[in-house]
Chains A and B, each alone.
Chain A
């Protein structure tokens, strides 16, 4: 059974890049466009990994990460936070929210895949 990655990202183009990237290595991609959808998808779909953007409508990435990590049955799912061009304390905030790793935008697709693979193999 192929690994399933929940991608939380509000930009369609960015989702398309990840779709193509993940499909190429044979991962299944579940999509959510905001923090609220991410919470529901995490609960119902039980992905193997979550790729969480920070700037999201309705519920931002920090809060969504915090809430997922607060649930005992979801806590084990690794979350990689994708910070926007981080200037001030984005990493600290992401760490505080409980993420397992973070990558800064703009990310190289190749490097992102390396990080994802660390948690899925």
Chain B
């Protein structure tokens, strides 16, 4: 079963976009564990639908709660209004009642007055007035009984007393009509007077009670008002607190995880694949964090496998170049012995052929050594051997090994080293190799003019420069040339050949010294390669 097939089957199951499947080489185990995780998260979703509210549900619930608060404040207000309305009605009713009672007292007084007048001036007119007063009182009493349904006992008493009062009045009127005025006056004094007093007392009682009721009603109304005020204030305060708490809780459950995820993504972007985000949320943000984590895990696995592949490649190159060099050593060794005449003096033709074997063999050896150097550096197997060295000797040694190359092309070779430099510290052999590569390139690509090697002592560091009068390097190509197997792609480099490893090695050596390398060049105006290394390196720089 091919892996590409496997990954497409998997994407059918998960239907998620799989950013790594394009590589087509992810281990099957990882795919399986991913599928298991997916199923697990599906289960979590099914269970979590009730127990673990999504962000949407949380927000909806919060808004719903606010709505409920608003409605309840409204309801409380309406209830308070209704109660106030009822109280007002009660007070008005009580006022009516008091009015009616007062009317009744007034009626009684007028009745008494009517009767007294009839007794003083007994004629039909005054008698009719006295009788009409009876009707008026009855009418008022009905009004009272209609208004006041409580205080029934008192009212009934009033009614009874009044019935007696009417009877007495009727009796007196009858006596007056029959001319028995003395009897009538007697009856007025002994019966009507006390009855009127009693009626007045009773109605006064009623008025007092009604007034007390009214005062009590107003009191209750006042209390209700202040209670409603308190209630509304309390609800408002509670809703304010609730809003703050809810707002805080929601922003905590949203902003914090977003911040954490943001931070995590930043670290991922910076290449830290080992970190995992912790977001306790069970909502969309929790899912997002889990997704970031699984992505980080996959990146980490990918990174590890890439690192391993790179290590294997470097190891393979190291082994391979060693294997290549062994037979090459024999070729070089035997051809040298033949050139030295150990097997008999070679003919001139044979000598020329042997020299070609030697030259090509050494070139091949150089290339193999470059590959080995680079792979060892990349595999982290190259350690600098740090020791004191003389800059002057280093440059002079270099001069000796390259002067014949420059002379062959009729190029000037100039060296500028400030006198009296103190001993430097570093890997002399590696620095010489770096400088040799730069000078070798300069001579190789320069057809006329000179190559200049210059050393400058800076504060705590040394600057080595190699300047040539060659074709120069286009700005666009300058960034590429320090990468392995990269050469400026033009007719000049094609004519000169080379594997494009030299500058990559120089760069690595300089960086291992904790230094940096750069180029200044313009097309057609030559090139200057410079590198800066610490004058005294006590510890190898970390490899990046």
Point out residues on A near B: beta carbons under 8 Å: 11, 13-14, 16-17, 20-21, 24, 84-85, 87-89, 91-92, 105-106, 108-110
Report whether A109 and B336 are in contact in the complex, using a CB–CB cutoff of 8 Å.
yes
Q: Which of A11, A17, A88, A105 lies in contact with B334, CB distance below 8 A? A: A17
Q: Which of B326, B340, B343, B372 lies in contact with A109, CB distance below 8 A? A: B340
Report whether B328 and A106 are in contact in the complex, using a CB–CB cutoff of 8 Å.
yes
Cβ-based interface call for B369 (8 A): yes
A sample of 21 inter-chain contacts (CB < 8 A) reads A13-B329, A16-B334, A17-B334, A20-B337, A21-B337, A21-B342, A24-B337, A84-B322, A84-B325, A85-B322, A87-B372, A87-B381, A88-B382, A88-B383, A105-B329, A106-B325, A106-B328, A106-B329, A106-B333, A108-B336, A109-B340
Report whether A11 and B326 are in contact in the complex, using a CB–CB cutoff of 8 Å.
yes
Give Cα distance in the complex from A115 to B537, angstroms.
Answer: 32
Chain A residues with CB under 8 A of B328: 106
Chain B residues with CB under 8 A of A13: 327, 329-330, 333-334
Chain B residues with CB under 8 A of A88: 376, 381-383, 385
Kindly identify, within residues 330 to 351 of chain B, every residue whose CB is under 8 Å from any CB belonging to chain A: 330, 332-334, 336-337, 340, 342-343
Cβ-based interface call for B235 (8 A): no
Do most interface residues of chain B lie in helix, strand or loop, or is the interface mixed?
helix
Asked whether A17 and B385 contact (CB < 8 A) given A87-B373, A106-B325, A110-B336, the answer is no
B329 and chain A: residue at smallest CB distance: A106
Q: Which of A21, A89, A91, A110 lies in contact with B383, CB distance below 8 A? A: A89
Cβ-based interface call for B65 (8 A): no
A105 and chain B: residue at smallest CB distance: B329
Cβ-based interface call for B365 (8 A): yes
Give Cα distance in the complex from A35 to B366, angstroms.
Answer: 29
Give Cα distance in the complex from A110 to B335, angstroms.
Answer: 12
Report whether B325 and A91 are in contact in the complex, using a CB–CB cutoff of 8 Å.
no
Give Cα distance in the complex from A106 to B327, angstroms.
Answer: 11
Q: Which of A87, A92, A105, A109 lies in contact with B337, CB distance below 8 A? A: A109
Report whether A106 and B365 are in contact in the complex, using a CB–CB cutoff of 8 Å.
yes
B383 and chain A: residue at smallest CB distance: A88
Report whether A20 and B382 are in contact in the complex, using a CB–CB cutoff of 8 Å.
no
Report whether A14 and B329 are in contact in the complex, using a CB–CB cutoff of 8 Å.
yes
Chain A residues with CB under 8 A of B336: 108-110
Give Cα distance in the complex from A109 to B354, angstroms.
Answer: 15
Asked whether A11 and B381 contact (CB < 8 A) given A21-B337, A108-B336, the answer is no
Report whether A109 and B333 are in contact in the complex, using a CB–CB cutoff of 8 Å.
yes
Give Cα distance in the complex from A11 to B328, angstroms.
Answer: 12
Chain A residues with CB under 8 A of B369: 85
Q: Which of B327, B333, B373 lies in contact with A17, CB distance below 8 A? A: B333
Count residues of chain B with CB under 8 A from any CB of chain A: 24
Chain A residues with CB under 8 A of B333: 13-14, 17, 106, 109
B385 and chain A: residue at smallest CB distance: A89
Report whether B329 and A110 are in contact in the complex, using a CB–CB cutoff of 8 Å.
no
Chain B residues with CB under 8 A of A24: 337, 342
Chain A residues with CB under 8 A of B340: 109-110
Chain B residues with CB under 8 A of A20: 337, 342-343
CB distance from B313 to the nearest CB of A (A): 17
Q: Which of A11, A14, A20, A110 has the most CB of B within 10 A?
A: A20
Chain A residues with CB under 8 A of B332: 106
A25 and chain B: residue at smallest CB distance: B342
Give Cα distance in the complex from A106 to B328, angstroms.
Answer: 9
Kindly identify, within residues 235 to 260 of chain B, every residue whose CB is under 8 Å from any CB belonging to chain A: none
CB distance from A89 to the nearest CB of B (A): 6
* B351-395 to A contact mask, C-beta < 8 Å, 1/0: 000000000000001000100110010000111010000000000
Q: Which of A24, A84, A88 has the most CB of B within 10 A?
A: A88
A17 and chain B: residue at smallest CB distance: B333
16 other A-B residue contacts (CB within 8 Å) besides A105-B329, A106-B332: A13-B330, A13-B333, A13-B334, A17-B334, A21-B342, A24-B337, A87-B372, A88-B376, A88-B381, A88-B382, A88-B385, A89-B385, A91-B385, A105-B325, A109-B333, A109-B336
Report whether A17 and B337 are in contact in the complex, using a CB–CB cutoff of 8 Å.
yes
CB distance from A20 to the nearest CB of B (A): 6
Report whether A14 and B330 are in contact in the complex, using a CB–CB cutoff of 8 Å.
yes
Chain A residues with CB under 8 A of B330: 11, 13-14, 17
Report whether B334 and A87 are in contact in the complex, using a CB–CB cutoff of 8 Å.
no
A91 and chain B: residue at smallest CB distance: B385
B377 and chain A: residue at smallest CB distance: A87
Chain A residues with CB under 8 A of B334: 13, 16-17
Give Cα distance in the complex from A64 to B337, angstroms.
Answer: 29
CB distance from B418 to the nearest CB of A (A): 30
